[in-house]
Structure 1
């Protein structure tokens, strides 16, 4: 389910079946790394959108947690922990963070959710069908991981 009123209405009526929140982690860099930052954001946005369509009714796609790459430190982690606490209060048993920033792997132990790091695949020179193919192959790998985590925590 997406973060739109119609899907939230569906969520509110079927909360007991929606136990998973997916939070895209998007780093914004201004300056020399702006293009790479935009490419990573595009990749994560397309990937999480496609993932949401695969698991409609089981998960909700939360708006991206966006932060300045230059500020990726304790305050960013603290802010994300606040998001995590709110999601846990919202009765989400599973929280997945999806990112192209490798630094989050080292911080995963400080979070209750699961950090999924995927290297950003540049999509700018691909046509729409090629983009879908790349994203589809990534999502197929994620399906297995999500299923494993759901079975571990039953």
Structure 2
């Protein structure tokens, strides 16, 4: 379910079946890494939208968490910990963070959720059909990973 009124209304009616929150972590850079930052955004946006379609009724795709790439992740971790507390209080059992910023993997132990790093694939010069094909293959890998994490945490 996406973070739109129609889907959230459906969530409110069936929240006992929806136990997973997905948060994309987007680095924002205005310097030399600006294009790379935009590329990560495009890739993860397509990826999470397809993932949400696969698991509608099981997960909520929350608004993305954005942060300045030039900053430190410690401040972001504090804010994400607040998100986690609120999500857990609301009944979410599983929290997944999706990112293309490899710096997050070394901070996974600071978070209660699972950090999933997906290396960004530059899509800007591809046809739409190529983008869909590549993203679909990435989603298949995520399907297995999500299923495995759900089993571990049940």
What TM-score does the superposition give when structure 1 sets the normalisation length?
0.98
For residue 16 of structure 2, give the secondary structure of its aligned residue in structure 1. helix
> What is the alpha-carbon distance in structure 1 between the residues aligned to residue 136 and residue 89 of structure 2?
32
3-state DSSP class of the match of 2:149? helix
Find the counterpart in structure 1 of residue 101 from structure 2.
Answer: 101
Q: Which residue of 2 aligns with 1:148?
A: 148
Counterpart residue number, 1:54 = 54
Uncovered stretches (5+) of structure 1, i.e. residues with no partner: none
- 1:135 CA displacement: 0.3
**Secondary structure class of the residue paired with 2:66:** strand
Equivalent in the alignment of 1:2:
2
Aligned pairs for 1:40-51 (under 5 A) are: 40-51=40-51
2:18 and 2:4 map into 1 onto residues whose CA distance is: 15
Q: Across the two proteins, how many residue pairs are aligned to each other?
A: 154
Q: Secondary structure at the match of 1:16?
A: coil
Residue in structure 2 matched with residue 33 of structure 1 by the alignment? 33
Distance 1:122 1:129 in 2: 14
Pairing 1:139–2:135 present: no
CA distance in 1, matches of 2:148, 2:74: 30
* Aligned-pair CA distance for 1:73: 2.6
**Cα deviations by residue, 1:57-106 (Å, 9 ceiling, x for unpaired):** 00000000001111133211111111111111111000000000111000
Unaligned runs of 5+ in 2: none
- Alpha-carbon distance in 2 for matches of 1:73, 1:130: 33
Who is 2:68 aligned against?
68
Structure 1 window deviating more from structure 2 (74-83 vs 113-122): it is 74-83
